[in-house]
Amino acid sequence: MYFPMKKKLTKYLFVLPGFCFFAFAMLIPFVMGINIAFTDWDGVAASYQYVGLKNFMDIFRDARIRTPFFNTLEFALIGTVVGNVVSLYLAMLINSKFEKLNHISRTVFFIPVCFSSVLTAFLWKFLYREFISDLFGTKNLLGNPFWVIPAIVVIGVWNGAGINMLIYLSGLKNIPLELYEASKVDGANAFQQFTRVTLPLLMPAFSVCVTLTLTSWLKEFATTLSATGGGPGGASRTVSIYVYENLYKYYKAGYGQAVSFLFSLCLIVIGLCVSSFFRKREVEL
C-alpha cells in the first residue's frame, strides 16, 4: 500500500527461514523417497535397479496389505470420533462454573500429553495386564483381536486429548458471552445454545482438531508399535507399521517406500478434503 515494491518482497522474506528448514527436513527427503519407490532397493545394499511401476502394481496384488488397510480405517474412525468427543467434553467441563476445580482439572487432563508414546504404551500395557483385567474380570484386552484397536485408541486418547482440549477451550473462551445472553433473551434453551451458538462458532477449532486427529490416527505408529507390535496376529497392524516392517524386517525398502508413497497421497487428499469441508463452515464474528 505504502511501500508497494518493498512489501512485495517482504512477504516472501517472512516465510523464507521456515521454508528452508522445512525443505531440508521434509521436502528434499520426500522427493528422494519417491525415487526409491521405483527401485528394488533392499535398504542395505549400495546398488539397486529401477523396476518401473512394478512396486505399485504389487500393492494391488499383495494380500498381506488388506488387514493393515482395514485396521487403519478402523483406527481412524474410532480414534477421530472418540478423540474429538472426549476433547470437546473436557474443554466444556473446564469452561463450566467451578472456578477452583477448573484449574486443577485442566492440569490433570493435560498432564498425559507430557508423556511420550513409548512411556504411555508401557504404562497402559501394565494397566491392561495387571489392573483393568482384574477390575472387569476380562482377559488382557490388548491380546484380544476384536478389542485391541479400541483398547489402543483409549491409550492414544488418554495420551493426546489434552492438546485438542486446549484448542477447543480457547475456541470456547473466544465466544462472546453476549451471544449467549442474547440467545437466552430470544428464548433458547441450553441445547439450542450448544447447537446454534457454540458449535458454529467452534468451527475453526473443529477444522484444526478433526483434521489433525484424523490424519494422526491414519498414520498411527508409535503407540501401537510399543503397545502390541501390531499383534495379536496382525490384528492391530496399521499401514504405517506395515511400511516400517517392509523397510526393516522384510528388506523390501523399494516396495515399502511405494506403499508409503501411495498411502501418503491418500492421506493428503483425505486431509485436504476434511479441512476444506470445515473451513467452508467457519463463521466470522
Partner 1 sequence: MKHKKNMPGDVILLLLMLATIVIFVIPLYLAVLTAFKSKPELSRSVLALPEGLYLENFREGMRRSDFFHSLRNSVLVTFPSVILIVLCASMSGYSVARHAQKTAALQLLDKVYLASLMIPFQILMIPVYRIYKALNLLNSLPGMVLMLTGTSIAYASFLYVGFVKSIPREIEESAYMDGCSEMKTFWIITFPLLKPVSATVAALHVMWLWNDFNISIILLQKEMVRTITVKQFYFFGQYTAEYGLAFAAAIVSMIPVIVCFAFMQKYIVNGIAAGAVKS
Contact set for partner 1, span 67-126 (CB under 8 A) = 89-90, 93, 96-98, 101, 104-119, 122-124, 126
The answer to the question of residue 191 lying near partner 1 (CB under 8 A) is no
- Of 59, 77, 81, 270, the one binding partner 1 (CB under 8 A) is 270
Q: Which of 178, 161, 165 is nearest to 92 (CA)?
A: 165
Q: Which of 86, 74, 267 is nearest to 164 (CA)?
A: 86
Size of residue set near partner 1 by CB under 8 A: 96
State in angstroms the smallest separation of the CB of 236 from partner 1: 16
Length of the chain: 285
In sign, the C-alpha dihedral spanning 94, 98, 102, 104 is negative
What is the Cα Rg of the chain in Å? 23
State in angstroms the smallest separation of the CB of 243 from partner 1: 5
Beta bridge partners of 50: 39
Considering beta carbons, is residue 84 or 117 the nearer one to partner 1? 117
State in angstroms the smallest separation of the CB of 61 from partner 1: 21
Considering beta carbons, is residue 83 or 256 the nearer one to partner 1? 256
CA distance 227 to 223: 6
Considering beta carbons, is residue 147 or 168 the nearer one to partner 1? 168
State in angstroms the smallest separation of the CB of 9 from partner 1: 10
In three-state secondary structure terms, 50 is strand
Non-local (6+) Cβ contacts of 82 within 8 A are 153, 157
In sign, the C-alpha dihedral spanning 229, 233, 234, 236 is negative
The answer to the question of residue 218 lying near partner 1 (CB under 8 A) is yes
Match 479400541 to its residue by C-alpha cell.
150
State in angstroms the smallest separation of the CB of 79 from partner 1: 15
Considering beta carbons, is residue 13 or 63 the nearer one to partner 1? 13
The answer to the question of residue 240 lying near partner 1 (CB under 8 A) is yes
Pick out residues in 139-168 that bind partner 1 (CB under 8 A). 158, 163, 166
Contact (CB, 8 A) for 256 and 36: no
Peptide bond into 232 cis (omega under 30): yes
Which region among 48-56, 57-65, 215-223, 227-235 touches partner 1 (by CB under 8 A)? 215-223
Pick out residues in 15-54 that bind partner 1 (CB under 8 A). 15, 17-19, 21-30, 32-33, 36, 43
State in angstroms the smallest separation of the CB of 225 from partner 1: 9
Q: Which of 161, 158, 177, 260 is nearest to 219 (CA)?
A: 260
State in angstroms the smallest separation of the CB of 14 from partner 1: 4
Which region among 53-61, 62-70, 141-149, 220-228 touches partner 1 (by CB under 8 A)? 220-228
In sign, the C-alpha dihedral spanning 26, 218, 106, 175 is positive
User: What angle do helix axes 253-280 and 54-61 make, rounded to 10 degrees?
Assistant: 80
Which region among 55-63, 74-82, 142-150, 205-213 touches partner 1 (by CB under 8 A)? 205-213
The answer to the question of residue 268 lying near partner 1 (CB under 8 A) is yes
CB-count exposure of residue 215 (10 Å: 0-12, 13-18, 19+): middle
State in angstroms the smallest separation of the CB of 106 from partner 1: 8
The answer to the question of residue 277 lying near partner 1 (CB under 8 A) is no
